[in-house]
Chain A
């Protein structure tokens, strides 16, 4: 069985590691990949890291990207355009709470659109 994958994008590697730890206490099977910090692990975001994370989290059910601040969203959008896949989406939701809800929904075997809808309704 495959799940909607989740990519956590933050300016800080520590932020996404912490969020993943919190989610993993509850949700074990949903793919969660991290794209925190720049290529040098400094504060910032990296398209390359996001692309790698998308590839790892990818299943035919698609991937959801969660981000923290504005410039992370721009990099996320570029990574999606470059992937040339149409089942990768970004949602506007608080990174921690939103990712938690997304993981729960995905774990219930929801489709990408259903997970997105749950997040749009919830925040």
Chain B
């Protein structure tokens, strides 16, 4: 991800009002599971998936995991 710790600190979790921190998050996607450092709320654990990630790397992974 291209955001600095400071930058994401300024983003607040909508429910908790906490500043987000970078966290190692595990997620399953299609037939694979991955981990990535993503901004998350330290209190409720909610993960922010930016449009950049969704459109970029995750779309790339999706294409790779597709059947021929």
A and B interact: no
Where the two chains meet, the residues of B that have a C-beta atom closer than 8 Å to any C-beta of A are none
